[in-house]
């Protein structure tokens, strides 16, 4: 375990770092219009981040100790298909519903 003084030093340091990162966008650039090239790149941030966050959870889930689980892959595909066609809420419902159903069936 980390000792208490190191914990608080790290916590304060991370808080200051987070504040400075947010201030760099809100405080320094908040009243300005960003150039078109920056807006084009910012449009793809979510498209790049979400697959990077979700893929390890689907292919190597911690719930199965990193073992591949076909039920999670099928549920992710169902959520993706419904999300592309309908809505985010539909994707959440389809993904959760198919995962719970497949796990109940023993897949």
Structure confidence by residue, pLDDT tens digits, 44-60: 888 889 888 888 888 88
Indicate if 27 and 42 belong to the same structural domain. Answer: no
Indicate if 60 and 26 belong to the same structural domain. Answer: no
Domain extent for 90? 36-105
- The DSSP string of 39-67 is HHHHTTHHHHHHHHHHHHHHHS-GGGTT-
Indicate if 44 and 3 belong to the same structural domain. Answer: no
The residue that leads in pLDDT, 39 or 14, is: 14
Indicate if 54 and 75 belong to the same structural domain. Answer: yes
For residue 26, the model assigns a pLDDT of 76
Indicate if 42 and 66 belong to the same structural domain. Answer: yes
- Would you state the structure tokens that stand for residue 46, as one six-digit string? 């979510």
- The pTM of the full predicted model, rounded to 2 decimals, is 0.59
3-state SS class at 100: helix
Indicate if 71 and 89 belong to the same structural domain. Answer: yes
For residue 91, the model assigns a pLDDT of 93
Indicate if 49 and 14 belong to the same structural domain. Answer: no
Mean pLDDT, the chain, whole residue set: 89
For residue 48, the model assigns a pLDDT of 87
Helix (DSSP H) and strand (DSSP E) numbers for the chain = 5, 0
Tally of domains within the chain: 2
């Amino acid at each position: 375990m980390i000792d208490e003084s190191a914990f608080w030093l790290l916590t304060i340091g991370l808080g200051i770092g987070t504040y400075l990162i947010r201030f760099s966008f809100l405080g320094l650039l908040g009243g300005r219009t960003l150039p078109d090239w920056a807006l084009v790149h910012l449009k793809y941030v979510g498209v790049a981040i979400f697959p990077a966050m979700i893929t390890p959870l689907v292919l190597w889930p911690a719930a199965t100790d990193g073992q591949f689980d076909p039920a999670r892959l099928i549920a992710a595909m169902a959520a993706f298909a419904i999300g592309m066609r309908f809505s985010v809420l539909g994707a959440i419902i389809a993904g959760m519903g198919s995962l719970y159903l497949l796990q109940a069936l023993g897949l």
